[in-house]
A and B are shown apart, each in its own frame.
Chain A
Amino acid sequence: MSMFPLSGSLSRRLANWARVRSPWVSVFNTGSCNACDIEVIATLMPRFDAERFGILAKGSPRHADILIVTGPVTTKQESRLRRIWEQMPEPKYVIAMGACGASGGVFQGLYHVMDGVESVIPVDVFVAGCPPRPDEIINAVVACLMLMKEDLDRGGKEWRRKPVERPATGTAPQEPGKVPA
């Protein structure tokens, strides 16, 4: 690339263009109630047809650009989720599905649950809903692509880093005897 400065920028622009047009997703269930998973399948079906946007569901996390995580992350799935995330090639993005993926939802604070995907791996996009509708899922993937574009323009994910460190919910000690609802 350095030999041809012009072609370097051209090839980078081409790569960036391709990246936002070809989001391949992989779905991982970390203890959800299945509703989110069913809705993800529904996006691939004739009614919603996610392939219009180049979205393809891939079985292997190695092929995926975007990992869709459903469920509040049970303690047993925690290590497995991290392993899946590590298996994905860079650049990789994570979408946390639904209320459970964002915060644990109705399962927040239960003893076998990690309270959301972000306590385990970094999340780029959260989708609201319980479960999110298929069109919202497609919308989230598209939002993730916009974010990807922004990242590419700014040269990385650094700009999104929060200035203040928030306390990690996963480590917050719970009041003994009381399960937060």
Chain B
Amino acid sequence: MPEVILPIGPQHPALKEPVNFRVIVDGETIVGLELDVSYTHRGIEKAAEQRDFIRVVPLLERVCGICSHAHAQAFCTGIEEIMQLEVPPRAQYLRTIVAELERMHSHILWLGVAAHVVGFNTLFMWTWRDRETTQDILEEMTGNRMNYGMNEVGGVRRDLSPGQIRSILSRLPKLEEQIGKYVEMVKGEETMLLRFRGIGKLSKAEALRYGTVGPTARASGVDYDVRRDDPSIAYPEVPWKVVTDTNGDVYGRTLVRIGELQESLGIIRYCLEHLPEGQIYVPAPKVAPKAEILSRYEAPRGELAHFIRTNGTDKVDRIDIRTPTLANWTSVTVSLVNQNIADIPVIVAAIDPCLSCTSRITILSERGRRRGEMSWAQLVDHGQRFYREGGRS
């Protein structure tokens, strides 16, 4: 079991995400950051070695409730490649639709949480209201609002009827209109610009050096998106483009996410309109031959990698999951170093991690190397004091 590390997700004050990070500070300046993810460690990787391919998919979906489809999909496409299964195109298109809906709901959710962090609650309420549209569509397609159970080795479990397709298509324009409003709001709202611009800046070289993935990397101008660079399912057939930005700060990451919302909407529409006829499933053999594969997929938070090794039985010999937040964490650690601790909350929120109100800071004061601890609250308070005293705002 060990492993799996992080069920990453958005955080909300009312749900204290059990992740602890320690920031090591020298006076005002940060010298290091330490992460403790053990609160939600359940041991999925060990358990996955003991379950067959049918039973392991629901387990992997629950690595993270927000990108559950991404995990199941990375695993299923990997096993299918090992088994050399020819998955029907209709199944691939359905997978793409669910994956992009999931990306939309995750990005909308992030936008709301980011707005909440900077105290813009109107946007928070609005985004969550609009998010219900994506949840409705997902529920209609898969039968569940989250943890969809759509994937299995060999295809998908549920089909779409022409009526459903029409109904989904009719709801997309409204969503598109709302996303347009977010763009206006993020670009025009002074308080958000104040808290987002120039914060947590990563140059392109730094973004590459520290191995960032997903919107964090793309906001720094790294043109890296696994959907295009290691294409799977229906992505090669769909016209879409990778959204990048050159700002490199929290503002850039917001723009990238909103841009991806619009791209996702286009992908969903294209897939629904060009849904191929045919089967949604091919029967998969019980056992997989001895092989190893690195299966990658672009989850909403960035590149997700499943390293799978099979041993000729109906179970995997080893599955090693690398989640996007773990990859992005190094960049947070580094981009915070030599920054003032007032900027921590926004920078950390910008990679879309889990963070907890119980996190603490170890303070090393310059004289005497005294150690003290600082709570999240004191940290926020300090940030405010810093700005009050003319820091930057």
Contact = CB atoms under 8 A, between A and B. Distances in A.
Query: Do chains A and B make direct contact within the complex (CB under 8 angstroms)?
Result: yes
Contacts of B51: 181
B43 interface: yes
Interface in B38-61: 38-44, 46-47, 50-51, 55, 58-59
A31 B16 contact: no
B17 A29 contact: yes
B43 A106 contact: no
Given A74-B42, A113-B42, A41 B15 contact: yes
B18 A31 contact: yes
In this complex, the member of A33, A38, A80 whose beta carbon has the largest number of chain B beta carbons within 10 angstroms is A33
Interface residues of B, number: 45
Nearest to A70: B15
A179 B45 CA distance: 12
A39 to B, nearest CB: 7
A65 to B, nearest CB: 15
B145 A34 contact: no
B199 interface: no
Given A39-B145, A131-B146, A110 B43 contact: yes
Interface residues of A, number: 44
B9 interface: yes
A131 B147 CA distance: 7
Contact of A130 (B2, B44, B64, B147): B147
In this complex, the member of A27, A106, A178 whose beta carbon has the largest number of chain B beta carbons within 10 angstroms is A106
A179 B147 CA distance: 23
A41 B128 contact: yes
Contacts of A124: none
B39 A27 contact: no
24 contacts: A29-B40, A32-B7, A33-B65, A33-B147, A34-B17, A35-B146, A38-B9, A38-B10, A40-B15, A45-B125, A45-B128, A46-B125, A59-B13, A70-B15, A74-B39, A77-B18, A80-B18, A107-B47, A107-B62, A110-B43, A110-B47, A130-B144, A131-B145, A181-B55
B68 interface: yes
Nearest to B16: A29
Contacts of B66: 34-35, 38
A113 B17 CA distance: 17
A133 interface: yes
Contacts of B17: 29, 34, 37
Contact of B129 (A31, A46, A112, A178): A46
Interface in B324-348: none
Nearest to A36: B65
A34 B7 contact: yes
B132 interface: yes
Contacts of B58: 106
Contacts of A4: none
Contacts of B42: 31, 72, 74, 107, 110, 112-113
Contact of B14 (A59, A100, A178): A59
Given A72-B42, A74-B41, A113-B43, 5 more contacts: A29-B18, A34-B9, A35-B146, A76-B39, A181-B51
Interface in A89-126: 100, 105-107, 109-113
Nearest to A72: B42
B212 to A, nearest CB: 22
A42 interface: yes
A85 interface: no
Given A27-B14, A111-B1, A133 B43 contact: no
Contacts of B59: 106-107
A59 B40 CA distance: 20
Contacts of B2: 111-112
Given A45-B128, A46-B125, A110 B9 contact: no
Contacts of B10: 34, 38
